[in-house]
Amino acid sequence: MSVVRPDHMKLLQLIHAKCGVNHTNSQVAVVGCAEGRSASIPTDALRKLSSILRFTVCTAVCGLLGSVVSFSVHASEAQHISFEGGTYDVYRLDADELSKLRLYWKDKDGNPYKTIGRLKLSLQEQGKKLLFATNGGIYSKEYTPLGLYVEQGEKLGSLNMGQGSGNFSMKPNAVFYIDSNGAYIEDASKLSVSVETMQDAVQSGPALLLDGEMHPRFFKDSDSYNIRNGVGIDSQGGVVFAISNTPVNFYTFAALFRDKLDCNNALYLDGSISEMYLPELDRTFTFRFFTTIFGVAGE
């Protein structure tokens, strides 16, 4: 006997009606049914329900393709995906979850966290659990933010539009910020809001995508390959972080956000030193030094 929740019953019946599932003698117990009553639902239908809930099968034959496709892009917080011959680990926060995301640089005593591991221990001392973390952008040799940096409403680094030879100075670079209206990535030279309204913000570079357009200095046949991580804003206003598991060039990394992750705006965070802490995908080993860190903590 298989088990199914009552709120899945109608979906099971819809699958049966649309897909012509053959009845079997197997039954399922309905979790939470009054007085322990059970309902006879075909086992094959239950299997189809499981597939739908995992968002890994095409259900066009059941007439449900539209709803699955529109939902699959935003289906889970942590995903391991493939794109253009490489693999990536992805963490997504929907627009209504942005309050969970913040930037970290120094602890309450003014000491830099430096490592994701130390941030994790500090949060544990506060009775919190680190759910996700990744390095928060390019920094100076003095381990200070290289550009604009705002943490919990306090401006700790100024906008930097200087010239240079590194990735940060590949104009346009951009600012990721969160304010009372949501999360945004904008060209650092064309910010549409005052820094004083930002809750958290970090400047990095180069911009991967701005309004759907890829950085003009990215080329498909570039031989500049590296591990890369970045952040994007999807079409629903959610925030998407991604890190490559194998070296990629800027073009492919930007295309990942545009073509796979549903983002029109995305920002490069850093290269070979990048790390992501994501226990859901068994990413727990971290050791490198950073300046700023993106983090999501739970109770």
- Phi/psi at 25 (5° precision): -85, -5
Q: What interhelical angle do 43-54 and 9-19 show, nearest 10?
A: 110
Ranges in the chain, pLDDT < 70: 1-76
Q: Indicate the burial class of 137 (C-beta count within 10 angstroms; 0-12, 13-18, 19 or more).
A: buried
| Cα gap 261→202, rounded to integer Å | 21
Where along the chain do its domains lie? 2-72, 78-298
Find the helix or strand (DSSP H, E) in which 122 lies. Answer: helix 116-125
| Cα gap 235→130, rounded to integer Å | 27
Check: CB of residue 229 under 8 Å from CB of residue 278.
no
Check: CB of residue 179 under 8 Å from CB of residue 197.
yes
Give the CA count within 13 Å in the CB-facing half-sphere of 116. 26
| Cα gap 85→100, rounded to integer Å | 32
- Nearest of 72, 6, 18 to residue 45 by alpha carbon: 18
Structure tokens at 48: 């189809």
DSSP label of 115: S
pTM, rounded to two decimals: 0.76
Structure tokens at 70: 């529109």
* Amino acid 152: pLDDT: 97
* Amino acid 195: pLDDT: 97
Which pLDDT tens digit goes with each residue over 200-243? 999 999 999 999 999 999 999 999 999 999 999 999 999 999 99
* Amino acid 76: pLDDT: 52
Distant-in-sequence, close-in-space partners of 189: CB < 8 Å, separation ≥ 6 = 161, 171, 172
